[in-house]
A and B are shown apart, each in its own frame.
Chain A
Amino acid sequence: MYALIYKISFFVTLVSLLSTVSNSVAAEHAHKAMTSKTIQGSCEKLAITCAKTVTSAFAPNGDLWRLWAINSSIYFQISLDEGLTFSAVNQVAIDKEKISARNENRPKIAFDNYRGVYLSWATPKEKKYTADVRFSYSSDYGKTFTKPITVNDDNLMTGHSFNELLVTDEGDVSIVWLDSRLAYQLRLQGKKTNGSALYIGKANYRKNETVFSNEQLANNTCVCCRIAMDYNKHGDLAILWRHIYGDNIREFALLTLAQGENVRPTPYQVSYDHWKINGCPHQGGAISINENNRYHMVWFNQGDVGKGIFYASSNNQGKSLTKPISVGMQSAQAAHPHLNTNGNNIDIVWTQFTGTEHQLWHQHSKNNGKSFADAELLATAHEGSDRPFIIKKHNISYVSWHRPKQGHLVQAL
């Protein structure tokens, strides 16, 4: 009996081992092939196709950078021809650490006018839902990076994530993030809390101001939606985020930080779709401000009053808005909108899903959002879809859409 079991087990083990070896050999062959050309559907470990998210931006010199995180490292490539071809893959020269890079969370990149490259990301900590916002700077266009520092200054094992990053030409760095330090402290006191807080940190490495300030801008924000921000005509930061109003009504709020004013104004509520949910929408909004200081915004809601993607604009920093316009097909899962403005031109992109195919859609307005041309289908994906983003080179908008296992699309709009 034992002899029979022994023989069967030996055979099964042998087959398993042979199978493992066979897979290794196949992987090695695939690896060799990948050095000369990309194989459709294959997934080399550090290749961008293996990434869940991709972040991209144009540098002031017109170079297109794209970065992604895999296995606790950040990788980047540079394109000199608007995304047609890219340089070899470079690893950001910092020590390995965990990097949040899925769904609404991902590393961010920005530039100054002196070949400075700025990175920010969230690094998860040991305890669930705890993370720190991290930052690193390169003064030599990515050859070297400073040792990463933690932006949040509370030293608490609590949530700090969903970071967004903007940098001026002169190197003034602004990072906003969702911060749970207040909720953490209130919980210690046995008090109930709801949501996170919106924080901003500022520094300027070119001026040797390397310690980030930490300032709370709002409390009771949604805990799992990305933040959006842009500079307005005066160089003030405008920030759009999903806020919790009343009894878990999740609507978008807008705050403009006027320079030199110490008293922060009350944020404006900009959506009124009445989405009541004690949960995670996992969908933030987008904002883009044009040369005439008109704020253009898109968001997604599933409220009693409004469902789907909406676009609206404001010429008074959010005090009042145009009547929101519905974008995309609600019945086709229209979601994850992003937008950009160039003068009176507005581009909006979003994704839809047919049940088998992810689709990237685009809609354009030439008259400041008064009307839009018919929506057009730009691209499709079959193995998942990252959020689409619009990035700008001078006065041309490009869409950046990562399709896991398929590739990263960059296309002029």
Chain B
Amino acid sequence: MNLLKTVIVAILICFCFSINFSNANSIAFSKEQLAMIKTKNMGKQWLMLLWSVDCPPCFKELAIIQKLQNQYDGLAVVIINSDANNEINEEREDIIDRFELGSFTNFHFVDGKGDQSRFFIDPNWYGELPRSYFIENNGKFHGKSGLVNESTLIEWLTP
């Protein structure tokens, strides 16, 4: 009887988690989340990479990050999906899995809030992708649009 109860408990817990924690890999992005990751990474050089499922060059940069994480420990990288579209949630998670990027902090822009999210990251960014922000240890942001080559990323992430 105890075994039966244990099984029932396990099933119920799994059921509850499946309801409440779908898309657990990626976190909804917000101004507060941005402030938190800025604070968390203060004092070190880090990279914030923004990408979309509709951006072929973004995949090349994700692939570079995938490669680098196998070569270097503790890369300070934050990855943000900028689609702001619930229709691509599954696709986004598949891509994060495919590039084995789940160990990094992954965010996504909230549906319908793409421009707002973009604006409070950088009001001078127009949405072109991939967009990479090189953040100095004093918190200063340097944005670059377009694919960044591997050597630049290594230089920045492994000082």
Binding site for B on A (CB under 8 A): 2-3, 5-6, 9-10, 12-13, 16, 20, 52, 102-103, 105, 128-129, 223-224, 248, 276-283, 300, 302, 333, 335, 353, 355-356, 358, 383-385, 404-405
Contacts and interface: CB of A to CB of B under 8 A. Distances in A.
Contacts of B96: none
A333 B16 CA distance: 43
Contacts of B115: 333, 353, 358, 384-385
Contacts of B54: 102-103, 105, 224, 280, 282
B28 to A, nearest CB: 15
A280 B57 contact: yes
B126 A335 contact: yes
Contacts of B123: 333, 355
A277 B5 contact: no
Nearest to B132: A279
Contacts of A20: 19
B156 to A, nearest CB: 17
30 contacts: A2-B6, A5-B9, A6-B5, A6-B8, A9-B9, A9-B12, A9-B16, A12-B16, A13-B16, A16-B15, A16-B19, A102-B85, A102-B87, A224-B56, A278-B57, A278-B146, A279-B129, A279-B130, A279-B146, A280-B52, A281-B128, A282-B55, A282-B127, A283-B126, A335-B126, A355-B123, A384-B84, A384-B114, A384-B115, A404-B112
A282 B128 contact: yes
Contact of A280 (B20, B55, B87, B95): B55
A283 B145 CA distance: 14
Of residues B19, B57, B115, which shows the largest number of chain A Cβ atoms within 10 Å of its Cβ? Answer: B115
Interface residues of B, number: 39
A307 to B, nearest CB: 9
B98 to A, nearest CB: 9
A13 B130 CA distance: 42
Contacts, number: 101
Nearest to B2: A2
Interface in B2-37: 2, 5-6, 8-9, 12-13, 15-16, 19-20
Contacts of B153: none
Contact of A355 (B58, B119, B126, B130): B119
Given A281-B128, A335-B127, 20 more contacts: A2-B5, A2-B9, A5-B9, A6-B5, A6-B8, A10-B12, A12-B12, A16-B19, A223-B56, A224-B56, A277-B145, A277-B146, A278-B57, A278-B147, A280-B55, A280-B58, A280-B129, A283-B128, A300-B126, A333-B126
A353 B115 CA distance: 8
Contacts of B111: 384
B124 to A, nearest CB: 8
A150 to B, nearest CB: 21
B134 to A, nearest CB: 16
Contacts of A276: 146
Interface of B: 2, 5-6, 8-9, 12-13, 15-16, 19-20, 52, 54-59, 84-85, 87, 95, 111-116, 119-120, 123, 126-130, 145-147
A13 B9 CA distance: 10
A280 to B, nearest CB: 4
A363 to B, nearest CB: 19
Contacts of B55: 224, 279-280, 282
B140 to A, nearest CB: 21
Pairs A-B, 6 closest by C-beta atoms? A279-B146, A277-B146, A384-B112, A9-B12, A278-B147, A278-B146
Contacts of A103: 54
A82 B135 CA distance: 51
A279 B19 contact: no
Contact of B147 (A10, A52, A279, A335): A279
A72 B128 CA distance: 27
Nearest to B61: A279
Contacts of B15: 13, 16
Nearest to A129: B56
A279 B16 contact: no
B128 A280 contact: yes
A333 B124 CA distance: 7
Contacts of B56: 129, 223-224, 280
Contacts of B52: 280
A2 B2 CA distance: 8
Given A102-B54, A103-B54, A302 B128 contact: yes
B16 A16 contact: yes
Contacts of B5: 2-3, 6
Given A383-B112, A385-B115, A279 B12 contact: no
